[in-house]
Structure 1
Amino acid sequence: MQRVLELLLLSSTALAVIGDGFIALPVHKLQAGEGSAHFPNRLPIFDVVNGVAKSVEDDVNQIIQPIFGNGIFSGGSIQGTHSGNGHSVKYEVSLPSSSSQKGSNGPSSTDNKDTDPSKTGFSLDDLMNSIPTDFWNLIGLNKAPTSSDNGSKDADFTPSAVSQVEQPTSKSVESTAPGPASSASSSSSSEAASSSQPSEDSQPSSSANKKTGAFFLSLDNTQTLYTATLKVGSPAQEVQVMIDTGSSDLWFISSGNSQCKVNGGSIDCDKYGVFDKSKSSTWHDNKTDYSISYYDGDKASGTMGQDNITFADGFSIENANFAVIDNTTSSIGVFGVGYPELEAVKSKYTNLPFAMKEQNLIAKVAYSLYLDSRDAVQGYILFGGIDHAKYTGDLKAFDIVQSNDKYVYSQIPLTSVASSLNNYTNAYGLPAGSNHPKVGAVIYNGTDSFNGGVDLKDTPTLLDTGTTYSYLSKDQVESIVGLYGNVTYNDAGKAYEVPCWVGNPGNYLEFNFKNEQYIKVPTSEFVISVGTYASGAELCVFGILPGTHSILGDNFMRSVYAVFDLEDHVISIAQAAYNDNHAVVPIE
């Protein structure tokens, strides 16, 4: 099936002070084999477009369809038919029971069935080996793909490790307005409302030693996610969490998580750290339950509370709101930096980006994101500032597109995508005499070509660090793939095949935003080698996948410098510049 992308792991290094109030935390990248093979998808499960509640079967189908094509989940099994080359193969896969798994079940829930793959955590190999051999032969693969094909010997795959289609669906019949379908509850509605905010007695105190200004936060890129190291509680406990622009809550895994190995489970919770609230003298329990589900199949349930969080020396939040998770199959927590509308609790609270301004750490609710190249050694998130050395050209600001008249997702209009190909030479750049050709225009210059590409009609598109790949509508993806020749859909990978040479150096895609900003991304970010045909020829698929929501994930974000201003509701972008220089100024 899908080989693990050759993404990079970031790890923290020493501090580097680059100016008054500016603290840089450089990061190093390690090879993919040293990281996790799991592909997180930390978009909360809910529908902000229609507010329509869907069944558990609907949710599970969103997870399994990228693996099994038209297979449908029903009654504890997956049934489907694959057609091709004049033949048709039917298959039915009974989902492995939780009792036969290496790991423990995920969080229990009254509205989930025992056969929910996001709950049982069975491996992708278990599923793949259940498919008839004729199925794999029919689609041109000589055997069922296994996790060993992904370059990771010990990797356990869940179905959602390949399922990256981020299509929010709702499990809450109570929620009709945009926002997460939350399972949060409390002993009383009034207590929930009051406990999600600091009490009068626990309001942040002023401190002459507290710093104000922009500061960097380290990011560790573990395969397909970027993590930050935070210090929590008193005395401080160091914990890593996943940085996610597509969600809003902060939560840490509890030392008492039932899924941790030390507690009889299967998760290595020590890898990224846990929070032991019993050891913090400043922990305040809100007595409010917290529960959230993500489309990678992970779930988290625990308790909301407050404690102190330190990001860097002198930059800390007092009485920050977050959840401590007692039951999750995830090995790492989440640091959501999106709009509060995405919070998975009924009573909204001040999440960390807004708390930073509230407590005078930054002047504006804004941060800039620099993931750097796949081969570079540094990357970071910069709260309250812009590093002008990290981009070329001008930063162009675009209004964030609302959902149902509310600011929910960090999404901006994507106008078109064009392609520049250099099939046989090592030349770089656009053909002579061309700048940004009109959509549909094709220019040839020897063996180089530039295709004006596909009109996307200003599609609202989410910029999301929590997504590995990128997603557009089926028609849009087919139009882009058509720039490279025949459009062939691979049912096994749930992606479109492309010639592997499309990923050669010098080839790139150009993303057009409102005809005002053009971001070039090497096609190597989008060409994924997934194995071989029966003939032995290499098989590659395209890293922009069909979905009902438009998302530009990590394979795009590494090429852009992005400034998220959640206060003025704009996102500014420019072409990323890969260097070791800094020119940081605060965002006023």
Structure 2
Amino acid sequence: MRNVFLLPLVPAVAPLVAAITLHKRDVPTVVELPLERRQTAAVLSRRDSSVGVSISNEGQTGYLLNLTLGTPAQTFSLGLDTGSSDLWVNVANSSLCSASDDPCKPFGLYNASASSDYKPVDAVFNATYAGGDNAYGSYATDTLGLGSTKIDDFQFIIAESSTDTQGIAGIGYKISTYEAEHENKEYDNLPYALVASGATKSAAYSLWLNDIRSGTGAILFGGVNKAKYHGDLQTLPIVPVYNRYYSLAIALTEVSVQSSSSSSSYSDNLPLAVSLDTGTSLTALPESLVNKIYKDLNVTYVEKASAAYIECDMTNKDYNVTYSFSGVEITVGISELILDATEEGFPTGTCIFGLVPSQEGLNLLGDTFLRSAYVVYDLENNEISLANTNFNPGDDDILEIGTGTSAVPGATLVPSAVSTATGNGATATGSVATGSTITATITSTGDSTSTAGTTSAPTSGSGSDLTSSTSSGLAAMSTTNAKHLLSGLAGAGILLMV
């Protein structure tokens, strides 16, 4: 989901002892690529020059992945998005990109006639994202370049019309591509195409966004880098929707705020399925939960701006916000939650706070969470592995992700994790869920294996029924340009209320 900014229930458990297959090779079958963080100058007004980001292109923020398309190669910088699945690029003759100031040019413009490997595909793309952005075009294939890696006949979208000056590199499930959902035709999007080409062994990748002061991060397709996280990776099941896997979401079970002198834990509206979304700048959680965190940290939310502010000097305090997932804890320091930027009308000396109330059930752990977490997205096994980020890594220690179960090296399954969800009742029109009502249930299982198609009575760890509903209007996030593709089934994190 591209959400361009405006933005103990279960006790801790001991690691499960299991056989772990390590895939250490002299030359691992992986593809590692740098990510560039870009932040908007229009919405965010920097207080000083200390933020290590490139300010360019009004209305854009997030992490950009550089790649090429075509022969000879045409260069692109696309927004990396775990919340959608298609890769699309702009063309020069679109209404947006043909403006006199040429706003799309810094991110790349595709020219089909200039590539000898271009081939059209008889399928159209007409996607609407939360926040109102949309793109229309047609599918094609061409040669894709990722560093030294080449993929022949890679399928992507040429956006003849869009409301975004940069394209998107969606790396979610291939079942969630527009063509799969609307034409019932699956194709290998980027994670799967890397496997088909032999560049990686598995449709899995790890993400390291570095700290908030850094302008770069990295994505590692097909591997993990042990130097970039603390402790051990712990593996949780992805929560399915309608007995199938559409969204890269796991169950959040507790949030707490700590300082050297106090600690408060909250479980409002939890357990909750939350998407780990690189396309979202901020983190969005239920209002009742967010308000308690605001009170602890003296944060003020301004509805008109759809943003919150906090005293900038709070960045030097010893507060942390800890997110728990069936006992797996990721700690986010207060300095990682305070953006060195402000909104028009915010009081002098205040900065934007990286947590906002979710709207219309769109619950997301965005960049203000992901920078503090090393995340391994294992699409093959429907699992996500987590560890706390090492912001000061030493020499790389890269291990290959293999095939089969327990494929992520050094990762341990979490026992009794909140793991399954079933739902029904949704309807969709076009690519936007309208008038949908989703009833979801989750259970705590004896192990952490996700089981699609569960029909047992819905319970939480405490035996409470868990239900949820979402309504139309998921795009109503006023100062955000959410890039999470609202495709009826894969739209948002499903609220799992006790």
Q: TM (normalized to structure 1)?
A: 0.57
Amino acid corresponding to residue 137 of structure 2 in structure 1: G
TM-superposed deviation, 1:382: 0.6
TM-superposed deviation, 1:474: 1.2
Offset from partner CA, 1:396-419 (integer Å, 9 cap, x none): 101000112221110001111111
1:519 alignment partner in structure 2: 330
- Distance change (3 Å), C-alpha of 1:267 and 1:522: farther
Say if 2:297 is the partner of 1:468: no
Q: What SS does the aligned partner of 1:481 have? A: helix
TM-superposed deviation, 1:22: 4.9
Say if 2:41 is the partner of 1:37: yes
Query: In structure 2, how many angstroms separate the alpha carbons of the residues matched to 1:375 and 1:501?
Result: 15
Query: In structure 2, how many angstroms separate the alpha carbons of the residues matched to 1:329 and 1:151?
Result: 30
Deviation larger for 384-393 or 573-582: 573-582
Query: In structure 2, how many angstroms separate the alpha carbons of the residues matched to 1:449 and 1:264?
Result: 54
Residues 458 and 514 of structure 1 are in contact (CA less than 8 Å); yes or no, is this contact kept in structure 2? Answer: no
- Distance change (3 Å), C-alpha of 1:247 and 1:449: same
Residues 415 and 455 of structure 1 are in contact (CA less than 8 Å); yes or no, is this contact kept in structure 2? Answer: no
Q: What SS does the aligned partner of 2:304 have? A: coil
Amino acid corresponding to residue 157 of structure 2 in structure 1: A
TM-superposed deviation, 1:269: 2.1
1:545 alignment partner in structure 2: 356
1:585 alignment partner in structure 2: 399
- Distance change (3 Å), C-alpha of 1:392 and 1:488: closer
Offset from partner CA, 1:460-493 (integer Å, 9 cap, x none): 11100000111111111122223336x8543323
- Distance change (3 Å), C-alpha of 1:290 and 1:567: same
Q: What SS does the aligned partner of 2:105 have? A: coil
Query: In structure 2, how many angstroms separate the alpha carbons of the residues matched to 1:391 and 1:334?
Result: 27
2:194 alignment partner in structure 1: 356
TM-superposed deviation, 1:325: 1.3
Query: In structure 2, how many angstroms separate the alpha carbons of the residues matched to 1:38 and 1:298?
Result: 17
Higher Rg: 1
Say if 2:288 is the partner of 1:288: no
1:214 alignment partner in structure 2: none
TM-superposed deviation, 1:378: 4.4
Higher relative CO (Cα under 8 Å, sequence separation at least 6) belongs to 2
2:415 alignment partner in structure 1: none
Say if 2:240 is the partner of 1:402: yes
Residues 64 and 79 of structure 2 are in contact (CA less than 8 Å); yes or no, is this contact kept in structure 1? Answer: yes
- Distance change (3 Å), C-alpha of 1:495 and 1:24: closer
- CA RMSD, aligned part only? 3.2
TM-superposed deviation, 1:290: 1.6
- Distance change (3 Å), C-alpha of 1:526 and 1:343: same
Query: In structure 1, how many angstroms separate the alpha carbons of the residues matched to 2:284 and 2:6?
Result: 19
Q: What SS does the aligned partner of 2:95 have? A: coil
Q: What SS does the aligned partner of 2:305 have? A: coil
Query: In structure 2, how many angstroms separate the alpha carbons of the residues matched to 1:5 and 1:451?
Result: 28
Query: In structure 2, how many angstroms separate the alpha carbons of the residues matched to 1:541 and 1:375?
Result: 14
Amino acid corresponding to residue 247 of structure 2 in structure 1: Y
- Distance change (3 Å), C-alpha of 1:306 and 1:531: closer
Amino acid corresponding to residue 585 of structure 1 in structure 2: L
- Distance change (3 Å), C-alpha of 1:474 and 1:582: same
Aligned length: 368
Amino acid corresponding to residue 399 of structure 2 in structure 1: V
Q: What SS does the aligned partner of 1:471 have? A: strand
1:330 to 158, 161, 164: 164
Q: What SS does the aligned partner of 1:524 have? A: helix
TM-superposed deviation, 1:364: 1.0
2:134 to 281, 295, 299: 299
TM-superposed deviation, 1:327: 1.6
Amino acid corresponding to residue 258 of structure 1 in structure 2: S
Query: In structure 1, how many angstroms separate the alpha carbons of the residues matched to 2:193 and 2:100?
Result: 35
Amino acid corresponding to residue 226 of structure 1 in structure 2: Y
TM-superposed deviation, 1:557: 0.5
User: Structure 1: any 5+ residue segments left out of the alignment?
Assistant: 8-17, 40-146, 162-222, 422-430, 432-447
Q: Percent identity?
A: 30
TM-superposed deviation, 1:563: 0.3
Query: In structure 2, how many angstroms separate the alpha carbons of the residues matched to 1:587 and 1:458?
Result: 30
- Distance change (3 Å), C-alpha of 1:266 and 1:328: farther
1:229 alignment partner in structure 2: 66
2:85 alignment partner in structure 1: 248
Deviation larger for 563-572 or 233-242: 233-242
Amino acid corresponding to residue 94 of structure 2 in structure 1: N
